A = this chain, B = another copy of it.
Amino acid sequence: MRILVTNDDGITAPGLRELVNTLSEKHEVLVVAPSQEASATGHAITIRLPIWVKEMKIDDKFLGYSVMGTPADCVKLGLDVFSKGKVDLILSGINRGPNLGTDIIYSGTVSGALEGALQGVPSMAISMCDFDDPKYETGAKVAEKLVDEFPWELLPEFCAINVNVPDLPYEEIKGFRVTRQSRRRYRDYFEARRDPYGNTYYWMLGDVIEDDTSPDSDYLAVKEGYVSITPITIFLTAEDVYKELKRRMKW
């Protein structure tokens, strides 16, 4: 298969390199990824600034295209400019840290996969559920298994999968579970500081205030040692609300 790989931790991130090394054994891999960390960029694209691109080498070996832009930029560039022919699959990751619950609306990793879905290519975001030295080799094996065995034909246009992997040795993973995006959410707060010139600036901080352990939740699957697979869409219409408003609104 011809696989386009992007991420939001930046092209030199170990999660991306582990993924590329594993997939390259059996597949043709094209890497187009941000030149620096682009976490929490959501689905930003770069339209007011030019996008610089450089070829990236590591140990004298061509790794891919390094893009001064967002994961969504990378997917668009990869498909339009750098892929020579059809791309069969887009992978975004392996991310350092989970993308679960309401967090995913901020995620550059997830937006890489959603951009792929929008462009009509089967796509997957993949994240390790740990920030501190995650076991990317587990994530890479999970990715390989999904690339080979996931029923991609069941994934309709405009849909992608969001995969979260527990930070365990591969043998200890209990299995795979199809899940829903959970209600897990944060409360944000800010710490105000003053710069040496008297201007005020803020740092954003956050605490989890609501976990969601319903049986279908992405969060519970990972907590119980399963790989969580959530099918996600770019369509945001709230169907139930749509129907209720249609019925109730008089004008």
Enumerate chain A interface residues (CB-CB to B < 8 A): 37, 39-48, 50-54, 70, 72-73, 76-77, 80-81, 102, 104-106, 111, 114, 118, 149, 151, 154-156, 158-159, 162, 175-176, 178-181, 183, 185, 188-190, 192-193, 199-204, 229-242, 244-246, 248-249, 251
Given contacts A43-B106, A114-B105, A154-B245, A53 and B236 within 8 Å (CB-CB):
no
Q: Are A190 and B80 neighbours in the complex by a CB distance under 8 Å?
A: yes
Cβ B50 vs Cβ A201 within 8 A: yes
The residue that A159 contacts in the complex, of B199, B232, B238, B246, with Cβ under 8 A, is: B238
Most buried by B among A189, A238, A241: A238
Would A50 and B245 count as touching, CB distance under 8 A? no
Whole-angstrom CA separation of A251 from B174 in the bound complex: 11
Given contacts A50-B201, A235-B181, A237-B180, contact A248 B45 (CB under 8 A): no
Q: CB within 8 A of A232: which of B102, B201, B230, B236? A: B236
If A118-B102, A235-B181, A245-B151 touch, whether A72 touches B42 (CB-CB below 8 Å) is yes
Interfacial chain B residues near A47, Cβ < 8 Å: 39-40, 204
Asked if B102 and A50 make an inter-chain contact with CB atoms under 8 angstroms apart, the answer reads: no
How far, in Å, is A114 (CB) from chain B's closest CB? 7
- Report 7 cross-chain contacts, Cβ distance below 8 Å, ordered by A residue: A40-B45, A44-B44, A73-B204, A159-B238, A175-B251, A180-B242, A233-B241
Is B249 touching A105 in the complex (CB atoms < 8 A)? Answer: no
User: Hey, which chain B residues are within 8 Å of A149, CB to CB?
Assistant: 251
CA distance A154 to B246 in the complex (A): 11
Closest chain B CB from A81 CB (angstroms): 5
Given contacts A42-B41, A45-B42, contact A202 B81 (CB under 8 A): yes
Taking CB atoms, residues of chain B closer than 8 Å to A237 are 180-181, 230-233
